[in-house]
Amino acid sequence: MTYPPIDDGPVAGRRLYFDNNATTPLLPAVSDAMYEAVTTFGNPSSAHLYGEAAAALLDKARVSVAALLGCRPEQVVFNSGGSEGASSVIVGTGLRHVSEAGHIITSAVEHPAVLRACEFLRELGFELSVLPVDGAGRVDPPALQRALRRDSRLVSIMHANNETGALQPVDALSGIACEAGVAFHCDAVQTAGKEHIVVAEGFVTISAHKFHGPKGVGALEVRTEAPLQKLVFGGEQEHDRRAGTENLLGIVGLGAAADAARARLGDPDQQSRRRAIGSALREGLSSITGAVVNSPAEDCLPETVNVSFQGLRGDTIVDVLSARGIAVSTGSACHSAHLEPSHVLLAMGLSADLARGAIRFSCSCLTTRSEVDEVVAVTEHTVRQLYTTSPGCD
Amino acid sequence: MTYPPIDDGPVAGRRLYFDNNATTPLLPAVSDAMYEAVTTFGNPSSAHLYGEAAAALLDKARVSVAALLGCRPEQVVFNSGGSEGASSVIVGTGLRHVSEAGHIITSAVEHPAVLRACEFLRELGFELSVLPVDGAGRVDPPALQRALRRDSRLVSIMHANNETGALQPVDALSGIACEAGVAFHCDAVQTAGKEHIVVAEGFVTISAHKFHGPKGVGALEVRTEAPLQKLVFGGEQEHDRRAGTENLLGIVGLGAAADAARARLGDPDQQSRRRAIGSALREGLSSITGAVVNSPAEDCLPETVNVSFQGLRGDTIVDVLSARGIAVSTGSACHSAHLEPSHVLLAMGLSADLARGAIRFSCSCLTTRSEVDEVVAVTEHTVRQLYTTSPGCD
Amino acid sequence: MARFSKAIIDHFTHPKNVGDVPAPDASAHVADPVCGDQVHLSVLVADGRIIEARFRAHGCAAALGTASILTEWILGMEPAALARLDEAAVTGKVGGLTPGQSHCARLAVDVLQALAQDCASRAQGQRT
Amino acid sequence: MARFSKAIIDHFTHPKNVGDVPAPDASAHVADPVCGDQVHLSVLVADGRIIEARFRAHGCAAALGTASILTEWILGMEPAALARLDEAAVTGKVGGLTPGQSHCARLAVDVLQALAQDCASRAQGQRT
Ligand SMILES: Cc1ncc(COP(=O)(O)O)c(C=O)c1O
Ligand SMILES: Cc1ncc(COP(=O)(O)O)c(C=O)c1O
């Protein structure tokens, strides 16, 4: 796929987007569906033809998302994306139990949407257990079993890690929580549209823009009898679980993205192509001098390759690659001159230096083999140049 | 304007949309801006060219919204719409003061987004004062003064009422709260884009879809030093006040809608046209036998005319008009066979029967004079027919 | 499912047989205590069959449409047959009702039974 | 403002004068204790002017670009003049720095001053 050009790119012509875990471009089928829906402008709650036409689009999208997730349409609660999804379950749990507080369990490698919300609950008086991970970034199910207490209110563990692609055994984890009668939340933002999500019982958060839908729209799957506290109040939209006039265009886009993702998941050719592209990327990058691959070899999203270059800084590599028309990321948000090493890589046992040298390459279904080859070649050249420039090298 | 056709409308050709307080169609300038932005798909937080291009769109929209509101761009926090805006301030206040609780003040005519959130705070242990309104639906500023207590945490009063269009004296009300050192929130969802919003100091909630922007996107103006508790946790988007990957297309649409609204507000011709259309609608409806106009004659959005037909049911009139291709609403959400009279009209002193007979006609800048004449004629015909059918009439 | 069947829309936008039959052979008025909907039916009977029917109604649009449909449906029926029409029959006749409109079928059955009863008691009255 | 000036991008993608001058007349190495950025400069001086300069650097892309720019900028200057270049001058020369990159100007000023000092002390050493 050729990506749309961006103004003032210094490397004429080259545009390689390998930051699909940050966000993905809309598929043509998604933008077409949204274009078509622009004229259906009614409020889905309105009791007239304009409202009914809008409500029909909403229903259709709900069926599409339910089909992707393998749940019933009424178990789908549309919202504004992954951060709201996670916050609504976690902060909602805090609000429901605010007077007696209690205990919350999460893992050390969660996205800030989960970690920050859990830390907020700690401020409200809850106790927080943060389960450690092994070198592959995985939580050990028996560790969850041991951490559970009588006053545990919620277990929140992600499916695929956004920085490394490592998959958690969420089926086992949700089963353990469920058996103990504790509500389970799975942040499946990085798996939705890429892998089947197998959660025995619980809340599942997904976000459209990670699988070629629009940004700022997502869904919470409520596959549980556990109560869900409303966070956004107002009308009785979404079966009275999330108020506010619905983001109709965004939801139509989410529905179209879900349809396309379901087709990919069911297509063996697309799945083997996806694995082949991922392997080529992983092998190409791992052969570069100084490279240490941080993404586990097994049980990992093939489209995510997290790699550190010993002695180099990830943010510098990202900036030089960006100037060469290649979009990748450090995987951790970098807000200051002082580069914080990724909490995910530190939890996996990497040294701070190696963690600071990490960059994340992430593909999508639009990524081609020749793009992979080009990105590996340019990365190799860039890494070699940075080593040459380093004070300690020759 | 001719509205897009809707499938299966039984009155061939007629499509009159008079439910603009529920939601509005996108202006062509808005959908054009969104179409154009579809290819700028980067994540605004990403440190590469795709991210920078997306961040530039975000910045531009923020400047547009700030210009409409007359504030600084960094005072604008984008969110998912009016319900989130109101809930974030109110529930956020609840969370900040959850241990000691305190006192909250609102009015009897607020939108459910505010009322339900305030009632939730009452469940958390807060005391709630609900200020009454006069026959025009207005809060008396001295009543706010008297209601304020030392432990008051928040005053939340709307600008224009969504059912009647009545404007509250929010400048005076915010001044009183502010002088007492109490945070003020103004639900300006119905005024944004139609009237200048004059709030001395406080939080102001707006929603794009009420002024020809897309649904599911809005903004909170933070024109105050009062602290704002995050409700959606995660990254540091929106100056660390609202996490989550931004609804980029929606925000671009909101920005374009704000530009168009600012142009209308500054154009005396458009303003006098707007008032002329509103007067024609009001006069036409009020001359129908049995009509009682509930919208105040002064200090009211000209585009909103709430009218009751004595002895008739508003929901029935809405359904018959809808079958005739005319979209209006009862003004209050009707969820059951049992029609709840509007809490707004009851607070203004209407009898339950008269309140049940209310319907709301609401125009936008796209409404034409001939549409007004047609809607008045069809309403007159419909009302006469319903009177003829009624058991008590002849 | 659309909120209203085509038949109901036709009838509430263009109601048939509105008003009262002058000097009716039977009439009935029922009201739903919950939603407040009211239906009034009056008929002329000749040779043991309904030959004219008119309605008045107050309530939701579906109730109005249903009442109008009744006035056409029952023409030619024997009054006693009215009492055998049940909610399912009414719902089918009007082209379907949403759960929120099911009270319209109940109301229709109630008014038809009341009408059948009024016919019967007047016939009784004539006989005695 | 874009995150990097055109000059900085040019220099970090195509760095000039990477490495060490063999048998330098002066050299300097500074490190920022906060962000860990390091710059190493070495120069040849002839007739009281800098005639060759090379750098090595570790740090953010702006620091790398700035160091590369320095090696071209200081050619032809008298070593003593280096100590008079301040952060504003560096910032202007590199085409602007964002607030998050201002440490690059500080680092540049530090390494230039250290270099001027090294030149001065070596000249001192030759004279005595
Ligand atoms: C694992 C994970 N969880 C949550 C989020 C937050 O989703 P959103 O950006 O849609 O709020 C992201 C992405 O940003 C993510 O990768
Ligand atoms: C006065 C008022 N406040 C709040 C809202 C809620 O806004 P939104 O639907 O964007 O959540 C609305 C409209 O629905 C409104 O009219």
Domain ranges of chain B: 28-264, 267-389
DSSP per-residue string spanning A246-292: --HHHHHHHHHHHHHHHHHHT-HHHHHHHHHHHHHHHHHHHTSTTEE
Residue to test with chain A: of C3, C12, C13, C98, most A Cβ within 10 A = C3
Model pLDDT, residue B338: 55
Give residue A304's pLDDT: 98
C1 belongs to a structural domain: no
In this structure, are residues D68 and D12 in contact, taking their beta carbons and an 8 Å threshold?
yes
Task: Tell me the ligand closest to A114's alpha carbon.
Answer: 1
pLDDT at residue B6 greater than cutoff 60:
no
Alpha helices (H) in chain A, listed in sequence order: 28-37, 49-69, 82-96, 112-123, 141-147, 170-179, 237-240, 248-265, 268-286, 314-323, 343-347, 352-356, 369-389
Domain A28-264 has CATH 3.50.50.60: no
Q: Which ligand is nearest to the CA of A232?
A: 2
* Helix A248-265 with A28-37: angle, nearest 10 deg: 150
Q: Which residue has the higher pLDDT, B294 or A6?
A: B294
For residue B388, pLDDT beyond 70: yes
| DSSP 8-state symbol, C59 | S
A91 closest CA partner among A115, A121, A71, A60: A121
Q: Do B120 and A25 touch (CB under 8 A)?
A: no
Burial class (CB in 10 A: 0-12, 13-18, 19+), D98: middle
Tell me: ipTM over 0.90. Answer: yes
Cα–Cα distance measured from residue C33 to residue A381, given in angstroms and rounded to the nearest whole number: 82
Give the number of other CB atoms < 10 A from CB of residue B246: 29
CATH of the domain at C23: 3.90.1010.10
How are beta strands B103-107 and B127-131 bridged, if at all?
A: parallel
Bridge partners, residue C30, by sequence: C39
Please write the tens of the pLDDT for every residue from D16-37. Answer: 999 999 999 999 999 998 888 9
The residue with tokens 């059951």 is B336
Contact state of A333 with B236 under an 8 Å Cβ cutoff: yes
pLDDT at A4: 43
Our answer on whether the CB atom of B304 is closer than 6 Å to any ligand 2 atom is: no
Chains D and C touch (3+ CB pairs under 8 A): no
Select which of A71, A186, A300, A334 is catalytic: A334
Q: Phi, psi (5° rounding) for residue B292?
A: -130, 120
Q: Which residues of A touch D105 (CB under 8 A)?
A: none
Cα(D38)–Cα(B201) distance, integer angstroms? 48
**Which residues are CB-contacts of B267 (< 8 A; sequence separation ≥ 6)?**
none
Inside any domain, residue C91: yes
Residue C26's pLDDT is what? 95
- CA atoms of B158 and B388, how far apart (whole Å): 39
In the DSSP assignment, the letter for residue D108 is: H
Ligand 1 nearest atom to the CA of residue A21, by list position: 16
C chain contacts of residue B324, beta-carbon cutoff 8 Å: 13
In this predicted structure, what is the pLDDT of residue A201? 93
Q: How many other β-carbons are positioned within 10 Å of the β-carbon of residue D65? A: 30
Chains that touch D (3 or more CB pairs under 8 A): A, B
- At D122 the pLDDT is 87
Q: Distance (Å) from the C-alpha of residue D8 to the closest C-alpha of chain B?
A: 15
Q: Whose CA is nearest to atom 9 of ligand 2?
A: A245
Which residue is listed with tokens 């990506």? A3
CB A219 within 8 A of CB A112: no
Query: Which residues contact residue B335 at a Cβ distance below 8 angstroms, ignoring those fewer than 6 apart?
Result: A236
Q: How far is CA B101 from the centre of its chain?
A: 29
- The pLDDT confidence band at residue B304, using thresholds 50, 70 and 90, is very high
User: Under an 8 A CB cutoff, do B391 and C56 touch?
Assistant: yes
Is B328 in Cβ contact with A22 (below 8 Å)?
Answer: no
Asked if the structure places residue C53 within a domain, the reply is yes
Q: Which residues of D touch A (CB under 8 A)?
A: 2-4, 6, 9-10, 12-13, 15, 18-19, 29, 34-35, 38, 40, 55-62, 64, 100-101, 103
Determine the residue type at B67: A
Separation of alpha carbons D16 and A221, rounded Å:
55
Asked if residues B245 and B258 have their Cβ atoms less than 8 Å apart, the reply is no
**Minimum mean pLDDT range among A71-80, B178-187, C6-15, C29-38:** C29-38
Fold of B267-389: Aspartate Aminotransferase, domain 1 (3.90.1150)
**Full domain range(s) for residue D79:** 6-127
Contact flag A337-D64 (C-beta cutoff 8 Å): no
State the virtual CA torsion across A136, A140, A141, A142 in degrees, nearest 10. 160
The distance of A117 to chain B (nearest Cα, Å) reads 5
Residues of C whose CB is below 8 A from B336 = 100
Which residues are within 8 A (CB) of A384 and not within 5 positions of it... i.e. 6 or more apart? A289
Q: Give residue C128's pLDDT.
A: 58
**From the candidates C32, C60, C66, which should be mutated to test the interface with B, based on the most B CB atoms within 10 A?**
C60
Atom of ligand 1 nearest to the CA of A158: 1
pLDDT at D35: 83
Interacting residues of B166 by C-beta distance below 8 A, sequence separation 6+: B109, B136, B137, B138, B160, B295, B296, B299, B300
Number of domains in chain C: 1
Alpha helices in A97-213 (DSSP H): 112-123, 141-147, 170-179
Give mean pLDDT, residues B248-257: 98
Please indicate whether residue A363 is annotated as part of the active site: no
What are the start-end ranges of the H helices in B245-313? 248-265, 268-286
Pocket of ligand 1 (CB under 6 A): A 81-83, 111, 113, 158, 162, 187, 189-190, 207, 218; B 234, 244-245
Give C83-127 pLDDT, tens digit per residue: 999 999 999 999 999 998 999 999 999 999 999 999 999 888 776
CA distance A279 to A377: 15
Please tell me the residue having the least CA distance from ligand 2 atom 8. Answer: B82
Contact in structure between B206 and B85 (CB atoms under 8 Å): yes
Whether residues B313 and C60 touch (CB distance < 8 A) is answered with yes
User: Which residues neighbour A287 within 8 Å (Cβ) at sequence distance 6 or greater?
Assistant: none
- What the block records as the tokens of B358 is 């209310």
Contacts of C13 in chain A (CB under 8 A): none
Q: Which of B334, B363, B365, B393 is catalytic?
A: B334
**D31 is a domain residue:** yes
Which residue in chain D is spatially nearest to A381 when comparing CA positions?
A: D13
Tell me the percentage of chain B whose pLDDT exceeds 70. 95
Confidence of residue B153 (pLDDT cuts 50, 70, 90): very high
Furthest CA-CA distance within chain D:
51
The mean pLDDT values, 10 residues at a time, for chain A of 394 residues are: 41 84 97 97 92 96 98 98 98 96 98 98 97 98 98 98 98 97 98 94 97 98 94 96 97 98 98 98 98 98 97 94 95 60 96 95 97 97 96 67
> A83 with B232: CB under 8 angstroms?
yes
Mean per-residue pLDDT over chain B, rounded: 94
Is residue B102 within 6 Å of ligand 2 at its C-beta?
no
Structure tokens at A196: 């089947």
Q: Among partner residues A52, A214, A327, which is closest to B249 by beta-carbon distance?
A: A214
For chains A and B, count residue pairs whose Cβ atoms are closer than 8 Å.
Answer: 285
Contacts made by residues A26-31, CB under 8 angstroms, sequence distance 24+: A26/A212, A26/A213, A26/A214, A26/A253, A26/A257, A26/B38, A26/B41, A27/A212, A27/A256, A27/A257, A27/A260, A27/A366, A29/A256, A29/A259, A29/A260, A30/A212, A30/A213, A30/A214, A30/A253, A30/A256, A30/A257, A30/A260, A31/A253, A31/B38
Using one digit for the tens of pLDDT, what is the confidence trace for B60-71?
999 999 999 999
pLDDT for D128 equals 58
Q: Ligand 1, atom 5: nearest CA belongs to which residue? A: A82
What tokens appear for B143 in the block?
């009543």
Kindly identify the ligand whose nearest atom is closest to the C-alpha of A186. Answer: 1
Tell how strand A218-223 and strand A202-207 pair up: antiparallel
d(CA A185, CA A177): 10
Among A162, A212, A303, A362, which is best to mutate for testing ligand 1, by the most ligand atoms less than 8 A from CB? A162
Subunits with 3+ Cβ pairs within 8 Å of A are B, C, D
**Residue D58, SS3 per DSSP:** strand
List residues in chain B touching C: CB distance below 8 A.
8, 10-11, 313, 315-316, 319-320, 323-324, 336-339, 385-386, 388-392
B207 phi, psi to nearest 5 deg: -140, 130
d(CA B199, CA B183): 12
Confirm whether D1 is domain-assigned: no
pLDDT at residue B9, rounded to an integer: 38
Q: Which of B189, B303, B330 to mutate to test the pocket of ligand 2 (most atoms within 8 A of CB)?
A: B189
Q: Do A391 and D29 touch (CB under 8 A)?
A: yes
- Grouping H, G, I as helix, E, B as strand and the rest as coil, residue B83 is helix
Nearest residue to B46 (alpha-carbon basis) of B235, B240, B281, B260: B235
